[in-house]
Amino acid sequence: MRVLAALSGGVDSAVAAARAIDAGHDVVGVHMALSRSRAQLRTGSRGCCSIEDAGDARRAADVLGIPYYVWDLSERFEDTVVADFLAEYAAGRTPNPCVRCNEHIKFEALLDKALALGFDAVCTGHYARIEHPAGDAAAPELHRAREAAKDQSYVLAVMGPERLARSMFPLGDVMSKDDVRAEAAARGLSVSAKPDSYDICFVADGDTQGFLRERLGARPGDVVDTTGAVVGAHEGAYAYTVGQRKGLALGRPAPDGRPRYVLSIEPVSNTVVVGPAEALQVGGIHGDAAVWFARPTDDAWFACTVQVRAHGEDVPALARAVGDEVDVRLDAAAPALHGVAPGQSLVLYDGTRVLGQATVRATTPTVPA
């Protein structure tokens, strides 16, 4: 097959490309330029897709002996991922930009362009597995990676089965990141010891609140408790997320002296509502814009596990599909979920298999016993 390898400049994508070559594929490397700003240059790869990463990607391609190109996707990235990030925070929700980047950039813009140029698949360094238990002609299944600590199926669930069928994840079966680094070193790849990327790639200094303030402007308002009493002030409700405890700067302590957490963000009134930890416990979740790998019968409840954070645990639940929406009832006997923020990704699993994904729009509290 003709395979386009997305080279981020990190060790994972370089080893994934090398494995695609070993498998006998005709591989071409491409680096996605997602910003034209020199501020994206970081030391130590705080984020990904920076200027220094493009150089590392080129050197990896040279060692692997494959053609290498840089594709400018910065305008598409700004219009989709960054715009969604700002709009969601302005609406009082907490987005996951990595999910949106996989949706709009890596497995839409990049994949669509690759297919238009005659490539058969896109190869990335994501930690997830693609399985074909019903045969290669059937729709593929997305599964968790063997290395649970590195699993990225949560942020990939938005891609859907059609795009999964045109994707390759050669690192899905590796047992540890140390094995990947050792393999990179053995292949002579200089990125073998490069630190992992983290934080939001388009926030150069890691100051998310500062980025939001610069783009959205100061919007002073009140912090109130569950009775409506003003207990503090803020410079922008967009700077808060459900479940947050630190940085609230409350002027009045709670009557019982206990810590308070962000319970909700109300963009219309520009208020942040705070309250006790137990008010964050979630009994149900409602999501929309569902993407299914195995679509259930509408209105039929089925058992599954759900995950609501990129590095969170999955918990037992019952779920049902209603059109493009999803309702979830959490198992009362399971460990409680707290502080589920609207805007986050809700992913449903059957064991290691991804069943579907939706965007959290609302939650219901746990009903007291």
CA distance 274 to 262: 4
Identify the domain containing residue 25 by its residue range.
2-193
Return the bridge partners of 345, or none. 359
- The answer to whether residues 291 and 171 belong to one domain is no
Last residue of a domain, one of 193, 228, 258: 193
- The answer to whether residues 140 and 263 belong to one domain is no
304 catalytic, yes or no? no
Does pLDDT of 46 surpass 70?
Answer: no
- The answer to whether residues 229 and 130 belong to one domain is no
- The answer to whether residues 270 and 314 belong to one domain is no
- The answer to whether residues 231 and 181 belong to one domain is no
Residue 62 lies in a domain: yes
Q: Which of 48, 49, 101, 123 is catalytic?
A: 101
Residue 355 lies in a domain: yes
pLDDT at 133: 84
CA distance 16 to 224: 50
Residue 262 lies in a domain: yes
- The answer to whether residues 117 and 229 belong to one domain is no
Residue 207 lies in a domain: no
**Among candidates 234, 235, 238, 278, which has minimal Cα distance to 254?**
278
pLDDT band at 49 (very low <50, low <70, confident <90, very high): low
- The answer to whether residues 55 and 166 belong to one domain is yes
pLDDT in tens, 285-300: 999 999 999 999 999 9
pLDDT at 337: 85
Which residues, in sequence order, are CB contacts of 93 under 8 Å at separation 6+? 265, 341, 342, 343
pLDDT band at 43 (very low <50, low <70, confident <90, very high): very low
pLDDT at 45: 44
- The answer to whether residues 170 and 70 belong to one domain is yes
pLDDT in tens, 205-232: 778 888 999 999 999 999 999 999 999 9
Helix (H) or strand (E) holding 160: helix 160-164
pLDDT in tens, 324-341: 999 999 988 777 788 899
**Which range has the worst mean pLDDT, 41-55, 95-109, 250-264?**
41-55
CA distance 194 to 259: 39
Among all chains, which residue has been given the structure tokens 């494959």? Answer: 66
- The answer to whether residues 39 and 118 belong to one domain is yes
123 catalytic, yes or no? no
pLDDT at 1: 95
Helix (H) or strand (E) holding 283: strand 281-292
Residue 358 lies in a domain: yes
- The answer to whether residues 186 and 246 belong to one domain is no
- The answer to whether residues 85 and 155 belong to one domain is yes
CATH code assigned at 316: 2.40.30.10
Q: How far is CA 171 from CA 11, 45, 67, 126, 350, in A?
A: 11, 21, 22, 7, 21
CATH code assigned at 148: 3.40.50.620
- The answer to whether residues 16 and 95 belong to one domain is yes
pLDDT in tens, 226-263: 999 999 999 999 999 999 999 888 877 788 888 999 99
Domains of the chain: total: 3
CATH code assigned at 226: 2.30.30.280
Exposure string (b/e) for 324-351, b if CB count within 10 Å is 16 or more?
Answer: eebbbebeeeeeebebbbbbbbbbbbee
pLDDT at 332: 81
Last residue of a domain, one of 275, 290, 314: 275
Residue 17 lies in a domain: yes
Q: What is the mean pLDDT of the chain?
A: 91
Residue 202 lies in a domain: no
Residue 316 lies in a domain: yes
pLDDT at 369: 45
